[in-house]
Amino acid sequence: MMRIVTFVTTVFVLSSAPARADGFITPFIGYNFGGDSANCATLTACEEKHTNFGVSIGTTGTVIGFEEDIAYAKNFFAATPGTESNVFTAMTNLVLGIPAGPVQPYVLAGVGLVRHHVSLNPAQISSDNNAFGWDIGGGVNIFLTKGVGIRGDLRHFHTLQDGSVPLLGSLVSGQKLDFNRASLGLTLKF
């Protein structure tokens, strides 16, 4: 009996496939649209696109992965003289995807920090607001080589807490911040 248990255990250990996980880093650039973002009602109907940039760092397994996404958008609410506004996001996401072949679609969802800042004549009125929020989205990585690819991504962000921005029409006291982000990035797998 002991020989059978030893034989079965040895065969099982030797035939097990090793766990596979690939790390990645994706610097990206894009713009926000819809919701509370200024002058961009939809992805294609934008009067004035305000650039955002950031980086996603994570790991993917056979289907499930994790990602940290950090982004910054300047002039989020409006680009008017005497005002400054920006939104910073730091999200932790669960990623579900198909990491096989050169075209790798994925979906994701997560939670994290959404911080917006507004200054009207910076010496007089300023508002900072940290809020807990969530994001959901998806995209596709197209790998040109085994370790280098291009990523297209769409995400929706929403705060769970009310925010306030003084004297701005797009977001007033008692509303949750809500917007979308479109981005294009360079994915490096390691």
Strand partners, 116: 87, 129
Inside any domain, residue 9: no
Q: How many domains does the chain have?
A: 1
- Looking at residue 14, its pLDDT comes to 57
Inside any domain, residue 156: yes
- Looking at residue 42, its pLDDT comes to 76
pTM of the full structure = 0.79
CATH at residue 124: 2.40.160.20
Q: 33 CB contacts (<8 Å, ≥6 apart)?
A: 40, 41, 42, 43, 46, 179, 180, 181, 182
pLDDT tens for each residue of the chain, 190 residues long: 667 667 666 655 555 445 566 899 999 999 988 877 766 767 777 776 778 999 999 999 889 999 999 999 988 876 667 778 889 999 999 999 988 899 999 999 999 999 988 777 656 666 778 899 999 999 999 999 999 999 999 999 999 877 655 444 444 455 788 999 999 999 999 9
- Side-chain-facing half-sphere of 46: CA atoms under 13 Å: 19
Inside any domain, residue 11: no
Inside any domain, residue 4: no
Inside any domain, residue 13: no
Inside any domain, residue 7: no
Inside any domain, residue 45: yes
Q: Provide the domain limits for residue 91.
A: 20-189
